[in-house]
Amino acid sequence: MSTERSQVLATRLATALNIPVIDARWQRFPDGEIYLRAMDSAQRVIICGSILTSDDLVEILLLKDTFNQSDITLVIPYMGYARQDKQFNVGEALSARAIAKVLGTDVSRVYTINIHEKSIINYFQTNATDISLSSPIADYIKTLSLDDPLLISPDEGALHLSKDVSSLGNWEYDYLQKTRLSGEEVRIAPKTIPVKNRDIIILDDIISTGGTQATAASMLYKQGARSIHTVGIHGVLASGAYSRLTSAGIYSISCSDTIERACSAYSAASVLADHI
Ligand code: R5P
C-alpha cells in the first residue's frame, strides 16, 4: 500500500516480494484536506511512503488508520524532519522525535533507509531498522565505467557511506571538512587528497539544495579533478538543486527512488525486500 509519493518504489517492492499492491483513491476535499479510500483490505499490510511534506505525513496517518485491524509494516524510504535531530537552541522542537513517535505507534515494525542520523531510530517506540543502500549504490557506480574512481564524502557524517560503498568496489575513499553557513551555503575546507586527473564521485545521503555538492565540486575541479559525478541517496532537490549542480560542471547527478525523480538511477526495492 503506497502513499501518492512512493508509488513506483512500492510497486517495485511488491514485485520483489511477489505480493499485490492495493489500489487506492486519493482525493482532496474542497478545503484541501486529503481523502483516502483503499480498495481492498488485508491481514498484513506494508505501507510505503516517503515524507517530504506535511501532506506526505498525513497520508501515512490516514493509511495507518484505514488498516488499523491489520498487522502493519511501515516503510519510510525518506524520512523528512530527520535533520532536526537535536535541540540546537533552547525552545526548539526535536522534530525527528516528534515525527518518529507519531509514526511508530500502532505498527509492528518500521524500516527507514539511510536515515540522516542513526540514533533517531530509537524514537519510534517499536521495532525499527535502518537499511543502507551501499550495495545498490556500488552496483550503480560500476555501471558508470569510470577509471579507478575516488569516492568522496562531503562531510564526516557521510564517511561511513563512502567507506561501505568503496569496500564493495575496491575503490579509494576520503571525506571533506564541511561547515554549514546557512540552509543553502556551506564552506568546505580544502583537503589534500590527490585528485588530479581522477574521476571523482561525491557521495552523500541527501542532495537538498545541492550547495554541499556544488561547493565540493568547485574545490575539487580547482585541484585538477578530471570529472565529477554526484550520487545521493535521497534526491530532495530543493531550490533548483539540479540546475545548480549542472552549472557546477557535474557530469552526472543521480539518486535512488526513495524520492522518485527523473534522476532516480538505482532502486531501494531489492534491499528492502531482502530485509522484509
Ligand atoms: C547533511 O549533513 C547531509 O548529509 C547533506 O550533506 C545535506 O543535507 C546536503 O544539503 P545541501 O544539498 O542543501 O547542501
Distance between CA atoms of residues 116 and 208, nearest Å: 12
pLDDT reading at 61 higher than 90: yes
Whole-number pLDDT of residue 184: 79
Answer with the residue of higher pLDDT: 190 or 44.
Answer: 44
pLDDT reading at 268 higher than 80: yes
Please check whether residues 85 and 193 belong to one and the same domain.
Answer: no
Confidence of residue 4 (pLDDT cuts 50, 70, 90): very high
- The per-residue pLDDT for range 155-190, each reduced to its tens digit, is 888 899 999 999 999 999 999 988 888 887 888 876
Ligand 1 near 169 CB (within 6 A): no
- The per-residue pLDDT for range 135-145, each reduced to its tens digit, is 999 999 999 99
| Domain endpoint, select from 132, 166, 193 | 132
Asked if residue 269 is part of any domain, the answer here is: no
pLDDT reading at 15 higher than 70: yes
pLDDT reading at 192 higher than 70: no
What is the number of structural domains in the chain? 2
Please check whether residues 102 and 180 belong to one and the same domain.
Answer: no
Asked if residue 268 is part of any domain, the answer here is: no
With a CB cutoff of 8 Å and minimum separation 6, the contacts of 115 are 79, 82, 121, 130
Instruction: Specify the ligand 1 atom closest to the Cα of 236.
Output: 12
Asked if residue 276 is part of any domain, the answer here is: no
Please check whether residues 73 and 163 belong to one and the same domain.
Answer: no
Confidence of residue 193 (pLDDT cuts 50, 70, 90): confident
Q: What is the CATH number of the domain that holds 28?
A: 3.40.50.2020
Please check whether residues 62 and 72 belong to one and the same domain.
Answer: yes
Compute and round to an integer the Cα radius of gyration of the chain.
Answer: 19
SS3 38: strand
Q: What is the mean pLDDT of residues 256-276?
A: 98
- The per-residue pLDDT for range 96-136, each reduced to its tens digit, is 999 999 999 999 999 999 999 999 999 999 999 999 999 99
Please check whether residues 13 and 123 belong to one and the same domain.
Answer: yes
Indicate which residues carry an active-site annotation: 178
3 state SS for 148-206 = CCEEEECCHHHHHHHHHHHHHHCCEEEECEEEECCCCCEEEECCCCCCCCCEEEEEEEE
Confidence of residue 149 (pLDDT cuts 50, 70, 90): very high
Asked if residue 270 is part of any domain, the answer here is: no
Please check whether residues 243 and 170 belong to one and the same domain.
Answer: yes
Q: What is the whole-number distance in angstroms between the Cα of residue 204 and the centre of ligand 1?
A: 7
Please check whether residues 10 and 127 belong to one and the same domain.
Answer: yes
Ligand 1 near 85 CB (within 6 A): no
- Report the residue among 118, 206, 259 best suited for mutation to probe ligand 1: largest number of ligand atoms under 8 A from its CB: 206
3 state SS for 106-146 = CCCEEEEECCCCHHHHHHHCCEEEEECCHHHHHHHHHHCCC
Q: Domain limits at 184?
A: 134-257
- Report the residue among 113, 208, 244 best suited for mutation to probe ligand 1: largest number of ligand atoms under 8 A from its CB: 208
Please check whether residues 248 and 191 belong to one and the same domain.
Answer: yes
Ligand 1 near 254 CB (within 6 A): no
Asked if residue 174 is part of any domain, the answer here is: yes
The mean pLDDT value of the chain amounts to 95
The grid coordinates of residue 40 equal 481492498
Confidence of residue 27 (pLDDT cuts 50, 70, 90): very high
Please check whether residues 124 and 193 belong to one and the same domain.
Answer: no
Q: What is the whole-number distance in angstroms between the Cα of residue 115 and the centre of ligand 1?
A: 12
Phi then psi for residue 146, to 5 deg, are: -85, 160
Please check whether residues 146 and 238 belong to one and the same domain.
Answer: yes
Atom 1 of ligand 1, residue of closest alpha carbon: 206
Whole-number pLDDT of residue 190: 65
| Domain endpoint, select from 132, 152, 170 | 132
| Domain endpoint, select from 97, 132, 167 | 132
Please check whether residues 39 and 53 belong to one and the same domain.
Answer: yes
Task: With CA atoms as reference, report the closest residue to 169 among 258, 260, 231.
Answer: 231
Task: With CA atoms as reference, report the closest residue to 6 among 274, 272, 231.
Answer: 272
Please check whether residues 144 and 96 belong to one and the same domain.
Answer: no
Distance between CA atoms of residues 249 and 131, nearest Å: 31
